[in-house]
Structure 1
């Protein structure tokens, strides 16, 4: 009897060994999904074919159905010495229907030539951890990117190569850049505002009119300029960018992103989910939300009139907020 048990056990072990070491197909795992409502998203923009959003770990998401669904875009290092595109991205801007750029940590700059479906890194400085915060493309083809500790990069060949240059603000973080024609405006920390009237060749700082940091700048369709930042502070200037007037927002939350709508109104978003909406003449702001939820970092108007919001809790689409009563 004991002999039969031993033979049976030996057979079981032998069969188990054959199964364990025999070739068999890899187990089927579901594809990794990046959920748009779970990812930290810092920059968004809209083009003719849809929208794209950039955020944590070098992720770019794209949507072609007015922001209802999102899927990852293809990203590539763009160089044999670079293994992956993992630097957090801070801003994304389309130049036209096909071309766009995103910037981020390690002075990373990604470029798309197919409307956002695929992105290639065209610049990176891995030895410098400082991020880039914003970029601007002029009508003449010049590209500019700004970032921490006075970082200022420019490209004159459609973004294929980038060169760093000092513009006299090396100790300040530069958070936003905007432009119109040959005029450019940079907004930065501790109330820094710098302007150029010759296409970015020369820069001068504007006499300080506020001591807190500005996190963004807009070139408005009315020929005016707008900067926004800490404690809900918003200032507007005429074409000269020299004299600035505060527009109260009745917010005490930092404002991180903004856009001008097709009807002339301006939407600003920020800390704790704060949202402020101006009148068409941008003379006053109404508070649509004062805070107490995840912060928003950027905002755009979709083609169907809905509002696309990006921030700590990913991407959200609001179809009703733009119908709020104007201030």
Structure 2
């Protein structure tokens, strides 16, 4: 049901295809502010970030953005859209961005108390699925159907880019021919051939991106150019994480988990007893690695992702993401926020 849920509800393009998106959000009649709901923290939530020890933010359906000072008590922010939100990223306690359906990008400069539209393209009917900023000016937003946007001015303008090196090898010759004969159709065709980009992961100076059909790519120049890595799995991947002992874990459809000890050059499958789709992987300061997924799936590893044990939720509700506090785990799920006591034996 929940393939991350969001899709249901050569050089930089060998000369790089990019164009600036200037969405006149003030003239778009479809924009409607999110309703203030007393039970918003019990609605479908898709992403959560621990910005600091005193600030947490979660996003989800109907434009819901929730803020907390302690991870337990939540308040709903005023948001100018009802579009489904899929990811959130703050660079500090004041400046943050959220993305979602309708190629939506939101921005706050007051710690999430208020949000402004930077992009809203309902006519495209394509969701953005993740966002990351390395500082207050330079950011990337990615999503379904090869959506890739960059900004160098804090989101005042966004450039959409299409990268031929991110296409499958069997499609590149066709695309190169088309690029020479019909650039307009080439751009449209490349946009339809590229996979869904599901998640960004920043590892030092390397930026990773994972997506459908076993897609993994990495960039050493913050997304100006990309290397598509050799495929090792033909299903969708939804998250990538560096383990405490410097391995890489990739998770995806039907309980598939893969581990690499050589920075993604080779991968070995980790066998699980669960077959539910895995949406996220994260770890805590003690070195425990967690997998969260559909059907209440929650798994943990104390050996750096080599093996996992169960601590799944009995209600069977999908878990979309989570963060670990001192002795608690904060989860965002299809029925809202859950706080689990990690000291409690299962």
TM-score between the two structures when normalised by the length of structure 1? 0.79
8 Å contact from structure 1 (residues 39, 312) kept in 2: yes
SS in 1 for 2:241: strand
TM-score between the two structures when normalised by the length of structure 2? 0.75
SS in 2 for 1:115: coil
Cα deviation, 1:20-68, whole Å, max 9, x if unaligned, reads xxxxxxxxxxx9533145311111111223211111111101122322x
8 Å contact from structure 1 (residues 190, 212) kept in 2: yes
8 Å contact from structure 2 (residues 55, 93) kept in 1: no
CA 114–239 in structure 1, closer or farther in 2 if over 3 Å, else same: farther
**CA drift at 1:141:** 5.5
Task: Give 1:59-74 correspondences, 5 Å limit.
Answer: 59-67=64-72, 69-74=73-78
Distance 1:306 1:50 in 2: 15
**CA drift at 1:231:** 1.4
Whether 2:176 is the aligned partner of 1:154: answer: no
1:107 to 86, 103, 119: 103
Distance 2:123 2:230 in 1: 34
2:201 to 178, 182, 185: 178
1:278 to 295, 301, 310: 301
Higher relative contact order (CA 8 A, sep 6+): 2
Residue number in structure 2 paired with 1:204: 227
CA 272–306 in structure 1, closer or farther in 2 if over 3 Å, else same: same
**CA drift at 1:188:** 0.7
**CA drift at 1:290:** 7.4
CA 219–97 in structure 1, closer or farther in 2 if over 3 Å, else same: farther
Residue number in structure 2 paired with 1:22: none
Q: Which runs of at least 4 in structure 1 moved beyond 6 Å after TM superposition?
A: none
1:244 to 267, 271, 296: 267
> In angstroms, what is the RMSD of aligned CA positions?
2.3
Distance 1:130 1:319 in 2: 37
**CA drift at 1:140:** 9.1
SS in 1 for 2:62: helix
Cα deviation, 1:222-259, whole Å, max 9, x if unaligned, reads 44432111111112224633222222232100011232
Cα deviation, 1:195-234, whole Å, max 9, x if unaligned, reads 2123221112211101111111224454443211111111
SS in 2 for 1:101: strand
Whether 2:290 is the aligned partner of 1:267: answer: yes
CA 60–161 in structure 1, closer or farther in 2 if over 3 Å, else same: same
**Structure 2: gaps of 5 or more residues:** 1-34, 168-190
- Indicate the structure (1 or 2) with the bigger Cα radius of gyration: 1
CA 235–291 in structure 1, closer or farther in 2 if over 3 Å, else same: farther
Distance 1:205 1:196 in 2: 9
Q: How many residues align?
A: 284
CA 142–305 in structure 1, closer or farther in 2 if over 3 Å, else same: farther
